Every structure is written in C-alpha cells, then in structure tokens.
Amino acid sequence: EPEVTQTPSHQVTQMGQEVILRCVPISNHLYFYWYRQILGQKVEFLVSFYNNEISEKSEIFDDQFSVERPDGSNFTLKIRSTKLEDSAMYFCASRANSGNTIYFGEGSWLTVV
Amino acid sequence: KNEVEQSPQNLTAQEGEFITINCSYSVGISALHWLQQHPGGGIVSLFMLSSGKKKHGRLIATINIQEKHSSLHITASHPRDSAVYICAVKAPQGGSEKLVFGKGTKLTVNP
C-alpha cells in the first residue's frame, strides 16, 4: 500500500538552529499538510499546500515556518530558528484530488534543547 | 470554530470485550475521520465517514450527522488494539481543508 514517508524520524537540535523536516507524499496526491503534536496534547494543524502554494495556515505557522515542494516529490517544513516550544512530533499528510481520506506519515520527533 | 470532544479519555478492557468510543463535534462537517495512534506515535487512518456506517474487520464506525456524533466500536477486543484512538473532523465542502482533532481516547486491552 502506498504510504507517506518522513525523515528524520527523530532530530535533536540546539535552540536557534534551523531544522528541515522532509516528507515524500503519496505520488498521485495533490494536497499536502503539516500537523504537529506537542507531547500530551492534541494534534494541531499547521499548514495546507495545494497547487504549489500555501492554501491555509494556522496562527502557529508564523514567519519562522516555511514549506516547500522543491522537486515534485518532496514536501519540506523548515523552522528557521527553533525555540524550545517547537519540540513536538511533526506529521506530514497528503490526500488525492478526489475523496477525503488523508494519509499520515509516521511523524518526525523534534527535540529542541 | 469546531470543538471536538471524545469520551472516555481512558478506557481499560479485558480481551474479548466490546468497546465503544464516542466523538461529538459542535459545527457541521463534510467528513469525520477515526485515526489510530500507536505507541510509537505514528497515525493510521481507520475510517473516513460522511454519513451512515462503515465496517472493517472488527472495527465499526457510525456517524449521526443530525446529532453531530460518531462512535467507533471494536468487537472482540484484543491486546494489539491497545492504542490511542482519535476523532478528527473536516469543515463543510468549500470550507477549510484542515482537520480539527479531538484529544484522543487511550485504550488498553488486557489479556
């Protein structure tokens, strides 16, 4: 079964460092998402991406965050200058043009120290 | 803004028991997802519902659009069903793309 893959599975970074989380969505999917889950809390929406541009973003997704689809297969989330409160599990997800089923990756644990 | 509430927060069962997890939401939706988050943290989509009922193996999901309520049932529960079960909803067609998540129900099935 096709799946969304994410790398790295776990990253530890110093506060203030830039981090790039990578995702390979399912190949024929057109909608892409990033969500995050702080330990012990609900999963929260960060951003959705369609037709090579951001279609929606949450208030969490401030100027420190950016997304890119650099080569037609990867979908990346960049955090420019990480803060302690960015420590969370980050999930990439994708869906096809038709239908509402969303497929999630296994997540990337980010720990900011 | 849609509020998604799940109950119970924690559920412990003996192997073989019938399990029900509930989800209610405050605003009309186009779809409701039941997701399973396993101990490693990864999320797997179990069902996507917009009406009625769906069944997959020992899992059954129902939704009542008028009452803004959905249930996930597990028949003949097994220790491998132990996980966090999460309900998430999507706004009506033409609205927001994002999913709004509940807090999850942690299920532990003892042998």
Neighbours of B92 (CB within 10 A): 11
Q: How confident is the model at residue B94 (pLDDT cuts 50, 70, 90)?
A: confident
What is the per-residue pLDDT for A13? 97
What's the confidence (pLDDT) of residue A73? 84
pLDDT at B39: 85
Amino acid A2: pLDDT: 73
Long-range contact set of residues B93-99: C-beta below 8 Å, sequence gap at least 24: B93/B30, B95/B30, B96/A56, B97/A31, B97/A33, B97/A48, B97/A50, B97/A55, B97/A56, B98/A33, B98/A45, B98/A48, B98/A56, B98/A58, B99/A35, B99/A43, B99/A45, B99/A102, B99/B33
pLDDT tens-place string over residues A55-100: 999 999 999 999 999 887 899 999 999 999 999 999 999 998 877 7
pLDDT digits 0-9 by tens, B68-86:
999 999 999 999 999 999 9
Q: Inform me whether the C-beta atom of residue A42 falls under 8 Å from chain B C-beta atoms.
A: yes
Subunit contact A35:B45, Cβ cutoff 8 A: no
Please compute the mean of the pLDDT values over residues B35-41 and round it to a whole number: 89
Give the minimum alpha-carbon distance from B103 to chain A in angstroms, rounded to a whole number: 5
Evaluate if residue B95 carries a pLDDT over 80: no
Contact: B98, A31; criterion CB under 8 Å: no
**pLDDT number for residue B17:** 97
Give the mean pLDDT of B55-75: 97
The predicted model gives A25-41 an average pLDDT of 93
Of A44-58, B25-39, B90-104, the one with minimum mean pLDDT is B90-104
Q: How many CB atoms lie within 10 A of CB B65?
A: 14
pLDDT, residue B52, reads 94
Question: B98 and A101 in contact by Cβ < 8 A?
Answer: no
Are residues A102 and B45, on separate chains, in Cβ contact within 8 Å? yes
Compute CA distances A80 → A18, A65, B2, whole Å. 5, 6, 30
A24 in contact with chain B, both atoms CB, cutoff 8 A: no
Instruction: Check if B102 contacts A (Cβ < 8 Å).
Output: yes
